[in-house]
Structure 1
C-alpha cells in the first residue's frame, strides 16, 4: 500500500498520528506573519534565516487504558527583535520541542489539561501545522529581548545621575559635617 501524502497546511491529524507519519520542512520567516510582526524595524523578517520544523505522529498504548494520540512539534528560528535597553536589533534563537496529546472532545481536553503537565487539545478534523508551529514560536519569544551587553553605550537621560568623574569633583556634604564635628572648618 502506498503511504499517504500529508500537507502541513491541511493536515488530517487523526490519519497522520495513526500512520506514525512524520513531516519536516522549512518556511521563509516572513511567511509567518504574526512572528514577522515582532521583528526589529532595522532587521525585517525577510532577512531572517528560514524557519525549520518537523512533526511526528505517535500512538501510545498505556497499560490498561485506551490508545493515546500524540504529536511531537519541533521548530527552530533565528529572529531579530528590538533590545529593550538600547533599542537596537538583538538576535534571538528560538528552539521549540513540544509533545501535544490529542483527545476526542473539548471537554475531555479541558479536564485532562487541568490535571496534566502535558499540553492536551481536542483532535481537529484538519490542523494547520503552520499556524500551530507559529503559535509555538510566538510562545518561545523572550518577554524582554535584550543584549547581554549592548553594542553601544546607553544614552544618559537628562536628569540622570552624573558620571563617576563628575561625582569626584563635587564636594561630599558629609565631609564638611565631619570637619565641623571635629571642630575644624569646612
Structure 2
C-alpha cells in the first residue's frame, strides 16, 4: 500500500502537531501571488522560489489540554524598489516563527494580547502556503532601500548653496492667504 503525502496547502494542524510531523519544499515565487505583486524585479527576472519548512509540536501542560504549535521557516529573495534612488534591488527575506493554536477566537484574542508569540484559533484545515506568504509579507521592510545606493542621488540646485552664502529666500507659500485676511480693528 502506498502512503499518501499530506497536501501542504491543506493542513490538519491538530493531527500534524500530534504526529510531530514535518514538511518542507520549494514553491515557485509566482505561486505566491500577493508576494509577487509587491515585487519590482528588473525586466526578464521572475520572482525567486520560496524555500519553506513546517514542523508540528504538541506540548504537554500540567492540568490543561496539550498546546499545539507550528514552527514555520521560509527564505526567499524579493525584488523591491529603493525609496532613495528608485532603483530595483534584491532583498533577502527570512522568516522563523512559532505559532500557538488555541481552541477558539476568544481565547486567541485574549492570549495574543498577553503573549509575544503568535496565537491563532485552531482551524479544521489550514492553508499552509497562505500562512507562510502572510509571514513573508510581514517580513518585508517598511521602507525598502539599499544600504548604499549604487548611483549618486540626484541633488536639487537649491540645495547646493555655498557655505558662505545665506540660503536664498523662498517665498512663503501662505503669503497669499495673508492678503485675504480682514484688517484688524484698532
Normalising by the residue count of structure 1, what TM-score does the alignment of the two structures yield?
0.81
Specify which of 157, 160, 171 is matched with residue 158 of structure 2: 160
Alpha carbons of structure 1 residues 119 and 2: separation in structure 2 relative to 1, 3 Å: farther
Distance 1:41 1:93 in 2: 13
Give the superposition deviation at 1:112: 1.2
Who is 2:79 aligned against?
80
Who is 2:175 aligned against?
none
Structure number with the higher helix fraction is: 1
How many pairs does the alignment contain? 166
Q: Deviations over 1:131-180 (max 9, x none)?
A: 000000000000001011111111223x5311xxx726xx546xxxxxxx
Q: Secondary structure at the match of 1:110?
A: helix
Who is 2:11 aligned against?
11
Give the superposition deviation at 1:48: 3.3
Distance 2:139 2:100 in 1: 19
Aligned-pair RMSD on alpha carbons? 2.1
Give the superposition deviation at 1:126: 0.6
Q: Deviations over 1:28-53 (max 9, x none)?
A: 11111110111115357x52331000
Stretches of 4+ aligned residues off by more than 4 angstroms: 1-4
1:34 maps onto 2:34 in alignment: yes
Q: Deviations over 1:108-146 (max 9, x none)?
A: 111111111111101111111000000000000000010
Question: Where does the alignment leave 5 or more consecutive residues of structure 1 unmatched?
Answer: 174-186
- Whichever of the two has the greater Rg, that structure is 1
Distance 2:100 2:3 in 1: 23
